[in-house]
Amino acid sequence: MAPIRPAAPPAHPMTVKSTGSWVRLVTGFAGFGAGSVNLAISASFLAAGSHGPAALLASAVAGLWGTALLAGSVAFLAKDRLAGNRWTRYALAAAAAAHLAAIAFPNPITSGLSLTQLSALLLTLMIIASLSWLQRHSSRQDGRQPAGPGMRPGRLLLAAFAGAVLVAGITTPGLAASTAGQYAVPHGGHGNLAPGGHHQR
């Protein structure tokens, strides 16, 4: 007599393990955007080096923070666990306060970077909000509360694309308003030199 095989489970559409996957992606995207904008702020402060040691110090702080955000975003997306302890949140809150202060109280160094600072502020707040949501979501799972249904890969892709567009829409104006953005060569203008040797605009 042939052995009885267990019945195969019914086929279901493949779903993503956690509905927080797209939030993780958006958090990483926001980290990349905030890191890039802070590096642009650093370059702008460095270009304003005529303002003395204060501009150089601000450039170093913004550059280190931007590099930390980029590295932290890579580590966050590479590891399948909630990253960022309370010190990370304190650092993000301090960065948001610094950007807000730069907007509210402009000085000769930051007066031309209001839009760039606003972009960095919005991206930083997006990271803080996303991490808070992920923390609450993780706490519910630890408390053995039933998790919601998984997200299908197609919906995850659409949600990730929408998040990327949102982050790009905040990051691009901030980069364009920085010193590096003001001196960037327009698309299609590479290699076209004016008689004086400068790129045509």
For position 134, what pLDDT does the model report? 86
Note the pLDDT of residue 135.
84
Token reading at 78: 């590479």
Question: What are the pLDDT digits (tens) for 76-116?
Answer: 888 866 655 778 889 999 999 999 999 999 887 777 889 99
Q: What is the pTM of this model?
A: 0.77
- Residue 122 to residue 126: CA distance in whole angstroms: 6
Q: Which residues pair with 193 in a beta bridge?
A: 199
Give 197's pLDDT tier (boundaries 50, 70, 90): very low
Q: What is the pLDDT of residues 128-184, one digit of tens each?
A: 999 988 888 777 665 555 555 556 777 888 888 999 999 999 999 999 988 877 766
Q: Is the dihedral of CA 18, 141, 166, 31 positive or negative?
A: negative
Whether residue 190 lies inside any domain: the answer is: no
Closest CA to 171 of 72, 31, 63, 46: 31
Residue 113 domain-assigned? yes
For residue 189, being part of any structural domain is answered with no
For residue 68, being part of any structural domain is answered with: yes
Q: Residue 199 falls within a domain, yes or no? A: no
Residue with tokens 């007066």: 111
Question: Does residue 15 sit within a domain?
Answer: no
Full domain range(s) for residue 93? 21-138+154-180
* Nearest of 65, 63, 83 to residue 75 by alpha carbon: 83
Closest CA to 62 of 44, 89, 36, 39: 39
8 A C-beta contact, residue 88 and residue 68: no
Residue 133 resides in a domain: yes
Residue predicted with more confidence, 54 or 167: 167
Task: State residue 179's pLDDT score.
Answer: 82
Total domain count for the chain?
Answer: 1
Does any domain span residue 1?
no
Q: 7-28, pLDDT tens digit by residue?
A: 544 444 433 345 578 888 899 9
For residues 153 and 17, is the Cβ–Cβ distance under 8 A? no
